[in-house]
Amino acid sequence: MHVLLIGGGGREHALAWRLAQSPRLTRLSVTHDNPGFPTDAVRVVGDPVTHAVSEAVDLVVIGPEAPLADGLVDRLEAAGVPAFGPGKAAAQLEASKAFAKTFMEAHDIPTAAWSAHAEAASAHAAVEGACVIKADGLAAGKGVYVCHDASTAHAALDEIFSGRFGAAGARVVIEELLIGPEVSVLALCDGERAVPLLPARDHKRRFEGDLGPNTGGMGAVCPPPGLDPGLVERVRREVLQPVVDGMRAAGTPFRGVLYAGLMLTADGPRVLEFNVRFGDPECQPLMLMLDEDILTLLHAAATDGLPTRPLRWRAGAACCVVLVAGGYPGPIERGAEITGLPEPGADAVVFFAGATKDAGVVRSAGGRVLGVTAWGADIDAARSAAYRIADGVRFATCAMRRDIGGPPLTGR
């Protein structure tokens, strides 16, 4: 099969790494440069739909959220090209938090109490104390403010309405502040059914102890230790399948991957957010844990043919530690030479998120630079392996969290 992969970050590197292992893959085309992509991947320039048609692409795999929200899948389907990802209407689950909350209310999906506001005055008037403030649109994972008092909430509203997130912040959602450990449950969806993946836990705050600003993700583990064995099935039944059913009933079938970010409250799991693509960095440990052909699964999701059986997974656990440039998520320096990179193997891979390669030298090119990902017989072994590799990688201003995969905190 000829596959076209959209995107060039750490998530896409992880997908390319697994796609390259598929016996069904005959050709991989990519829209971005990434030092970790297979050397025989063909870099394409221009409109991906035009390329997909002219080069007889069998499947387009879309990594980032922006092309999904812009309707790339709709254009591909109109041209007769199968695509892994939801259409524009279904992608609103991520592209608009107010849309997602309204959808959840309509389909009895458990979530936090909320209100939406398009005017600053209305939003400020709605703040009564601790809450969560969210820019309504896509903000690269940085548009969420966890506010433990009213003054922090008012400051967050001022920042959003000042234009920090552009059009994404033209409307805000104010949510009840839920308490409990967080977990992510993703599912492959084919328009009819949701087939869950292993649960994962992302660490979004910049510093140890879940302190500091939200980021795109400082690391992830899969599966997190200590979860109720029945959690995934409960989430499938109460959250994931109702989304697929509701989207199908609305005439906008959901195909692709549905990501439910959850808070495990005393009253059960509550949805914090939906994403309509693989999480980054959750995708990285998931790809190490999956024990079957990823290309077969992605094509099945795009063509209404996912298996009804549970997916197969390796025993043990995987851990991803993200190495960032100093200053992230604020201003950063780029261009630092990266050394100490090991060769990828079945049990450990360094995925390139914000990096480039020039004349054989790999350099930093973004805030989140690398995702050091390792498998182990248990979570402790996976963490030890990931940190051992991470400690051997060097570049100027390199920083990381030291508590990825540690005990979850019960607050936000």
Give the tens place of pLDDT for each residue, 37-89.
999 999 999 999 999 999 999 999 999 999 999 999 999 999 999 999 999 99
pLDDT of residue 139: 87
Question: φ and ψ at 376, to 5 degrees?
Answer: -150, 165
**118-127, 207-216, 296-305, 311-320: lowest mean pLDDT where?**
207-216
Q: Which residue has the tokens 């030092």?
A: 35
Two structure tokens written together for 312:
């197969």
C-alpha dihedral sign at 15, 3, 303, 77: positive
pLDDT of residue 412: 55
Check whether 30 has a pLDDT greater than 90. yes
Q: Give percent above pLDDT 70 in the chain.
A: 99
User: Percent helix, strand, coil in the chain (nearest 5)?
Assistant: 30, 30, 40
The predicted model gives 107-125 an average pLDDT of 96
Q: Which residue has the tokens 């248990």?
A: 378
pLDDT of residue 356: 97
The predicted model gives 233-245 an average pLDDT of 98
Task: Give me the chain's average pLDDT, please.
Answer: 96
Question: φ and ψ at 333, to 5 degrees?
Answer: -105, 140
Tell me how many degrees the CA angle 355-359-360 measures, rounded to the nearest 5.
65
Two structure tokens written together for 32:
């971005």
Cβ atoms of 22 and 296 within 8 Å: the answer is yes
Two structure tokens written together for 248:
């199908």
The predicted model gives 172-190 an average pLDDT of 96
Give the pLDDT band of residue 304 (cuts 50, 70, 90).
confident
pLDDT of residue 141: 72
pLDDT of residue 142: 79
Two structure tokens written together for 120:
């600053």
- Residue extent(s) of CATH 3.30.1490.20 domains in the chain: 114-175
Instruction: Tell which CATH architecture fits domain 2-88.
Output: 3-Layer(aba) Sandwich (3.40)
Check whether 408 has a pLDDT greater than 80. no
Two structure tokens written together for 162:
């000042």
- What does the pLDDT look like over 352-401, one tens digit per residue? 999 999 999 999 999 999 999 999 999 999 999 999 999 999 999 999 99
Q: Under CATH, domain 114-175 is a member of which superfamily? A: ATP-grasp fold, A domain (3.30.1490.20)
Give the pLDDT band of residue 306 (cuts 50, 70, 90).
very high
Mark out the alpha helices in 32-106 (DSSP H runs): 48-54, 65-69, 72-78, 88-95, 97-106
Cβ atoms of 322 and 366 within 8 Å: the answer is no
Is residue 407 reached through a cis peptide bond, with omega within 30 degrees of 0 on the bond before it? no
- Residue extent(s) of CATH 3.40.50.20 domains in the chain: 2-88
Check whether 409 has a pLDDT greater than 70. no
Contacts of 97 (CB under 8 A, 6+ apart): 116, 134, 135, 136, 137, 173, 273
Give the pLDDT band of residue 406 (cuts 50, 70, 90).
confident
| CA 3 – CA 239 distance, rounded (Å) | 31
The predicted model gives 100-127 an average pLDDT of 96
Check whether 411 has a pLDDT greater than 80. no
Check whether 276 has a pLDDT greater than 70. yes
pLDDT of residue 34: 97
- Judged on CB neighbours under 10 Å (0-12, 13-18, 19+), 302 is buried
Tell me how many degrees the CA angle 285-289-23 measures, rounded to the nearest 5.
110
C-alpha dihedral sign at 174, 70, 162, 262: positive
DSSP state for residue 18 in the 8-state scheme: H
pLDDT of residue 410: 55
